[in-house]
Structure 1
């Protein structure tokens, strides 16, 4: 089957065709460039979901899928999972939690292995998002791996970034340490039926009161949810829609998309440089045994002996 035929099938909702296209993009096969050309365009809402492990990211994503499907929207999910130390593939925990949507033809869920990439995403996540947009999905959700404070790449990728917190996990302090006031667009206090939820909300609002904003600058709302029961999900969907409306004004969305493209280019350049300037074992041994220093070794790798 040609790439063009595969793209046509994927646009009609064929999951196997979509999976083949994503595999080509992720592995940068010989067909990757043609796939990208045939799937250019699209205007999906790209929603990032991040937060510490255990706050209920996958459960909330499942609830959001249900809400958007009720509205008649096609939804795709890239769930970034830790890589297996044996196979290098993704551990499919997130897909298990979203099993309620497994038979829905309007939903596509893909687990993506980090393959050692830091920052909560896989190196090819941005290309995967662009592909799914081009295949006609209305919403693309990217759920990060849940690595904690280093998980900031999602802000550059998503149009709207949701930061999930939960009571009883010390997340208020962790939020300050991670600098998430700058990266989150909507705060979600999940498991809000537990004691301490109101305290987390107060901590977030107190934190935001310390940040100076211009009159037309976005002010992050705090939404309380109980994702397991669907509580607060409609309010969260409304908050996401309101942020999208904010981005549509004053060319903010276009700026965000350009920043996303620039970040992807930088990531690909970085990956190419790592491959091009691989460190020889004998040079690493020389540094380890003290025969040379790391700075001199780096100059040798770069071919710069000046």
Structure 2
């Protein structure tokens, strides 16, 4: 896609002033590294670096989307511009997101200070797609103060979020004791803030006491020993506890700014983006190389011979399909 530098600069300027059409166009460019205009990522990176990136994850069915919708309202009352990246499981056929932006958080659709984008996880290992990381860079560059990432549920992506988000919120619900036990080895260990949502349900007090005890013992909670993870009770449906959660987010962001950790997280996030970009190039090259030596692949598979050498040849051949370097 040929986009002149003048046109790109104009598009970026309009996007930075809140022009939704320009923002949408930039986000579309970012979804495909092969059609991305030259210098786009570098220009965005120079504009970015100030946003509070919030990862929201947790137990399926815990009401994350409703909670985020309430949180948006609370953040907007404080004058923040808010972007949401909702990562949906990929359709294995089309690769597209199964749930679109317009099915979520519809009450904010007409608010010019809110931008919600659903993207697919594209089936990449790790769950956080390249598009998600480049879009964080874009929303940051365009002056969104709070960027919320809602992840797909449970799995590797929640552990990856540690490299991306400044603040990690883990959402659970009453009666989820067995789920919490099962998740201890992964997502439950990474939170800066824990939310007991659906606090109006039975067993809420029992689950709260269990979580409080687990936090005190150090069974769950982030590895940052100088930050004491917070536990917040909410009922997103009833609108209860949302201000407490908003304040907990503010407290944590102020804390990491005070100790100088925001730059470390920015670097970590960009390294993840660069690695995923490289992985995407190699993956596409592998697909093209497989087509080129299809007969050789089939023979190796059918006879069961030269498997190692065929794989090595395929890997070397995939390098031929890497794109040309771009000017910066």
The 5-angstrom pairing of residues 35-50 of structure 1 reads 35-39=40-44, 40-42=46-48, 43-50=50-57
How many aligned residue pairs are there? 303
Mapped to 2, the partners of 1:218 and 1:33 lie a distance apart of 41
| Structure-1 residue corresponding to 2:153 | 146
Query: Are the equivalent residues in 1 in contact too, given 2:158–2:187 (CA < 8 A)?
Result: no
Shift of 1:216: 5.8
Query: What TM-score results when the alignment is normalised by the length of structure 2?
Result: 0.82
The 5-angstrom pairing of residues 151-190 of structure 1 reads 151-169=158-176, 170-181=178-189, 183-190=190-197
Structure 1 pair 215–105 and aligned structure 2 pair: CA distance change class (3 A): closer
Mapped to 2, the partners of 1:174 and 1:294 lie a distance apart of 38
Does residue 114 (structure 1) correspond to residue 124 (structure 2)? The answer is no
Query: What TM-score results when the alignment is normalised by the length of structure 1?
Result: 0.88
Query: Are the equivalent residues in 1 in contact too, given 2:81–2:113 (CA < 8 A)?
Result: yes
**Range with bigger deviation, 75-84 or 141-150:** 141-150
Does residue 292 (structure 1) correspond to residue 305 (structure 2)? The answer is yes
Mapped to 2, the partners of 1:203 and 1:83 lie a distance apart of 34
Task: Give the match's secondary structure for 1:161.
Answer: strand
Q: What per-residue deviation string (whole Å, max 9, x for no partner) do you get for residues 218-260 of structure 1?
A: 1211111111122111111111111112211232111111111
| Structure-1 residue corresponding to 2:210 | 203
Q: 2:281 aligns with which of 256, 272, 276?
A: 272
Structure 1 pair 202–293 and aligned structure 2 pair: CA distance change class (3 A): farther
**Range with bigger deviation, 160-169 or 98-107:** 160-169
Q: What per-residue deviation string (whole Å, max 9, x for no partner) do you get for residues 15-42 of structure 1?
A: 2211110011121254534333443323
Query: Are the equivalent residues in 2 in contact too, given 1:149–1:177 (CA < 8 A)?
Result: no
Shift of 1:149: 5.7
Shift of 1:290: 5.4
| Structure-1 residue corresponding to 2:272 | 263
Does residue 136 (structure 1) correspond to residue 137 (structure 2)? The answer is no
Structure 1 pair 165–234 and aligned structure 2 pair: CA distance change class (3 A): same
Query: Are the equivalent residues in 2 in contact too, given 1:48–1:141 (CA < 8 A)?
Result: yes
Shift of 1:130: 0.7
The 5-angstrom pairing of residues 219-238 of structure 1 reads 219-238=228-247
Mapped to 2, the partners of 1:107 and 1:135 lie a distance apart of 12
Does residue 10 (structure 1) correspond to residue 18 (structure 2)? The answer is no
Question: Structure 2, unaligned stretches of length 5 or more?
Answer: 318-328
Question: Structure 1, unaligned stretches of length 5 or more?
Answer: none
Shift of 1:207: 3.0
